């Protein structure tokens, strides 16, 4: 394949959920040998944490699971990358509304992560910034990322 598939995870501040999803998904992509095919990134709706490392709760969970996170820094999403990404993956309904206001294209390439998980107990990944439930968020993010990778692999097979 000659063009990278670009995946962009979105949450509010880009320090808890979306960097966790970025790190988890990047590891899954690497484990499948697809890093030369799938580009993984994350960003936030707001600019409150730009330049910061992921939240210490996200760091702790990822470190416990042996997942690299050290190069991830919070940043704010741009309108241009919303147009350029192949998959824009939001964590919750508020993120989806914000993406719509930012001009994200209304298409099947913009969706909530847990929309891909048929038997998910919830459809929004809750923000652990407020309740500290980083382990719970990790479980949801992992299920969503597994489903996302299956979808991308199917999409790539259809394009081939």
List residues with catalytic annotation.
Answer: 11, 17, 127
Which are the contacts of 59, defined by CB distance < 8 A and separation ≥ 6?
53, 69
* DSSP H stretches of helix in 32-116: 56-64, 79-84, 93-101
* Sign of the Cα pseudo-torsion (46, 142, 41, 82, in order): negative
Q: How many CB atoms lie within 10 A of CB 133?
A: 14
Radius of gyration, alpha carbons of the chain:
14
Distance CA 3, CA 88 (A): 17
Going by DSSP bridges, is the β-strand pair 5-11/38-44 parallel, antiparallel, or unpaired?
parallel
For residue 111, the 8-state DSSP code is E
């Amino acid at each position: 394949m000659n063009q990278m598939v670009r995946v962009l995870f979105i949450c509010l501040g880009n320090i808890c959920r979306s960097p966790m999803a970025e790190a988890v998904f990047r590891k899954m992509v690497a484990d499948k040998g697809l890093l030369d095919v799938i580009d993984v990134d994350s960003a936030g709706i707001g600019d409150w944490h730009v330049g910061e490392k992921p939240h210490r709760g996200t760091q702790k969970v990822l470190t416990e699971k042996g997942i690299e996170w050290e190069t991830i820094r919070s940043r704010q999403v741009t309108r241009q990358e919303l147009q350029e990404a192949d998959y824009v993956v939001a964590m919750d309904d508020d993120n989806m509304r914000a993406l719509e206001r930012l001009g994200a294209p209304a298409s099947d390439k913009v969706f909530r992560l847990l929309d891909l998980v048929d038997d998910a107990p919830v459809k929004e990944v809750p923000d652990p910034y407020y309740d500290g439930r980083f382990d719970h968020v990790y479980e949801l993010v992992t299920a969503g990322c597994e489903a996302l990778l299956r979808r991308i692999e199917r999409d790539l097979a259809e394009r081939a």
